[in-house]
């Protein structure tokens, strides 16, 4: 079964749905708090009106320890809870009451006609109380503290009713916002369709696809794709260059091989046949060398997969020792100059070894028999110098600037070569921010130096 790919649309909607749900719950809590505050405000105002009405009623009727049934019904009526009242005389104490207000009533705090509003616990429930001071109707020197209270049940009920009215509206609003988000996400993702169509219509075009119309949010993805296209174009160009170089360099030896094979086949004597086969052998060796050099150049032009810290003082002696037998056969004295300290550089060992091998190859082939070739390492400021120096005939000053060009060979050179050795070294070293320099040795010869950044431990 095909793997199910994650959906960007679903992920965006899920990311937005959870905050919207949290906002809905937060909005419900805030709405309830506001509704409860508004309900408390209205009920407090009504409670003050009831207290003032009760006080006016007491000023028109004498108190005998009991209220009229009409007054008691008016004060105690509470459809969702219970109403409380208390009348406290300064001279005679509590005159009428339907609960024990001794612990909660603020009769002593009442000094003028300004009513007091406060909350307290009465009969094991929280109540809201209002206290108002008036002059006694029967005793001008006495003062009455009139307290009226009610429970919070009706207040909460009113707040809940307001909340239940607003919740459907908030839910409807959230649904509308969700629909707009769905539409917005779908519409926003349509911007990817032209890019997808543009990529689908391409065949071998590896030009960048970024343009001013690309949204800022997907620009990093487009830049990554452009970078991939750039690297792919480089690899294709590298492949095409290899094919062109191979066709250019192998055409002549292959034609020569074909010619001498025909000559050997048509020869009637053994000497002619032997000469033709000897030519075929030399051309075959040249073809193999050219093919190897072309492959090495292609590998050097491709970026190495790994960049490591290389200890040249440990690696270079091993690389030089591997070339000693070849130097003995060529009649060249190959030596190594060791530095006084450990020197480390960034690089990739196989690539850097191939660069050094090509420099040693050139020295062994062109310095001549009896020459001395020295491979050495030295510190040079913030760089490390890896050099190959010989005391051969050297290179003319006019040709020094062209060293390192592909297929370039110094005029008058008798040795067979491909002109790729120094080019391979250049390509390999450039990957590690290195450079190659050439200078004439004293009294004669050539010194080729690879300069690489120095790494400290």
Q: How many residues does the chain have?
A: 457
Q: Which of 62-71, 80-89, 155-164, 309-318 has the lowest mean pLDDT?
A: 62-71
Distance, in Å, from the CA atom of 435 to the CA atom of 426, rounded to the nearest integer, reads 7
Locate 237 and state its tokens: 């160009």
216 secondary structure, DSSP code: G
The tokens for 99 are 């609960």
Same fold, 8-160 and 216-299: no
The answer regarding whether domain 216-299 maps to CATH 1.10.287 reads: yes
Q: What is the DSSP letter of 247?
A: H
Among 88-97, 101-110, 166-175, 361-370, which stretch is predicted with the lowest mean pLDDT? 101-110
Overall fold of domain 8-160: Beta-Lactamase (3.30.450)
Residue 243: predicted pLDDT: 63
Q: In this predicted structure, what is the pLDDT of residue 411?
A: 46
CA distances from 37 to 25, 30, 51, 152, 319 (A): 18, 11, 21, 12, 88
List the Cα angle 141/146/150 in 5-degree steps: 175
With left for phi above 0 and alpha for psi between -120 and 50, is residue 267 left, alpha or beta?
Answer: beta
Whole-number mean pLDDT of the chain? 77
Check whether 76 has a pLDDT greater than 70: no
Domain positions in the chain:
8-160, 216-299, 304-453
Do residues 418 and 425 lie in contact, with contact meaning Cβ atoms separated by under 8 Å?
A: no
Q: What is the pLDDT of residue 375?
A: 92
Q: Is the pLDDT of residue 64 over 60?
A: no
Encode pLDDT of 8-53 as tens digits.
777 777 777 788 888 888 888 898 899 999 989 998 898 888 888 8
User: Average pLDDT, stretch 179-190?
Assistant: 78
Q: Is the pLDDT of residue 193 over 70?
A: yes
Q: How many CA atoms lie within 13 A of 287 on its CB side?
A: 16
Q: Does the pLDDT of residue 246 top 80, yes or no? A: no
Give the pLDDT of residue 65. Answer: 54
pLDDT at 105 over 80: no
Name the CA dihedral angle for 305, 308, 314, 318, rounded to a multiple of 10 degrees: 0
Tracing tokens 């003050």 back to the chain, one arrives at 48
Architecture of domain 304-453: 2-Layer Sandwich (3.30)
> What are the helix (H) ranges across 302-412?
312-321, 324-329, 349-366
What average pLDDT does range 142-156 have in this prediction?
Answer: 85
Residue 396 — φ and ψ, nearest 5°?
-60, 150
Q: Are 372 and 333 in contact (CB under 8 A)?
A: yes
Instruction: Pick from 15-24, 124-133, 210-219 the range whose average pLDDT is largest.
Output: 124-133
Map residue 87 onto helix, strand or coil: strand
pLDDT tens digits along 373-408: 999 998 888 888 889 998 887 776 766 666 656 555
Give the β-pairing of 143-151 and 83-89: antiparallel
Confidence at 305, pLDDT banded by 50, 70, 90: low
Using the predicted structure, report yes or no on whether residue 417 has a pLDDT greater than 80. no
Over residues 312-330, the pLDDT tens digits come to 889 999 989 988 888 888 8
- Res 297 pLDDT > 60: no
What single DSSP character describes residue 197? H
Cis geometry, peptide bond prior to residue 443 (ω within 30 degrees of 0): yes
């Amino acid at each position: 079964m095909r793997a199910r790919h994650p959906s960007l649309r679903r992920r965006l909607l899920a990311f937005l749905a959870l905050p919207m749900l949290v906002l809905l719950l937060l909005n419900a809590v805030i709405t309830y708090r506001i509704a409860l505050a508004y309900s408390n405000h209205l009920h407090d105002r009504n409670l003050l009106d009831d207290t003032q009405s009760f006080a006016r009623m007491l000023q028109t009727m004498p108190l005998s320890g009991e209220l009229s049934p009409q007054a008691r019904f008016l004060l105690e009526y509470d459809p969702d809870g219970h109403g409380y009242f208390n009348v406290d005389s300064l001279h005679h104490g509590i005159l009428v009451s339907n609960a024990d207000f001794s612990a909660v009533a603020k009769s002593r705090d009442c000094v003028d006609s300004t009513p007091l509003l406060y909350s307290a616990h009465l009969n094991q429930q929280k109540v809201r109380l209002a206290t108002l001071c008036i002059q006694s109707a029967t005793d001008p020197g006495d003062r009455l503290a009139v307290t009226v209270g009610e429970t919070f049940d009706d207040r909460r009920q009113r707040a809940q009713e307001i909340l239940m009215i607003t919740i459907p509206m908030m839910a409807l609003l959230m649904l509308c916002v969700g629909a707009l988000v769905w539409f917005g996400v779908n519409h926003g993702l349509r911007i990817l369709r032209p890019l997808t169509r543009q990529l689908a219509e391409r065949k071998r075009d590896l030009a960048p696809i970024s343009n001013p119309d690309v949204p800022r949010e997907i620009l990093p993805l487009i830049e990554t794709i452009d970078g991939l296209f750039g690297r792919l174009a480089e690899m294709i160009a590298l492949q095409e260059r290899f094919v062109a170089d191979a066709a250019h360099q192998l055409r002549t030896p292959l034609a020569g091989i074909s010619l001498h094979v025909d000559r050997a086949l048509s020869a009637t004597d053994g000497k002619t046949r032997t000469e033709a086969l000897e030519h075929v052998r030399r051309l075959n060796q040249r073809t193999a060398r050219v093919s190897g050099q072309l492959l090495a150049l292609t590998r050097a032009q491709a970026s190495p997969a790994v960049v490591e810290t290389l200890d040249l003082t440990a690696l270079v002696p091993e690389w030089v020792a591997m070339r000693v037998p070849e130097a003995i056969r060529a009649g060249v004295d190959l030596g190594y100059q060791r530095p006084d300290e450990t020197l480390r550089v960034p690089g990739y060992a196989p690539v850097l070894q191939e660069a050094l091998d090509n420099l040693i190859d050139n020295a062994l082939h062109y310095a001549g028999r009896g020459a001395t070739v020295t491979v050495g390492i030295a510190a040079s400021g913030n760089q490390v110098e890896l050099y190959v120096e010989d005391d051969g005939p050297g290179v003319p000053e006019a040709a020094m600037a062209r060293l390192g060009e592909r297929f370039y060979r110094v005029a008058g050179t008798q040795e067979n070569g491909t002109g790729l050795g120094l080019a391979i070294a250049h390509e390999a070293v450039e990957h590690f921010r290195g450079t190659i320099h050439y200078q004439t040795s004293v009294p004669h010869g050539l010194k080729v130096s690879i300069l690489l950044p120095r790494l400290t431990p």
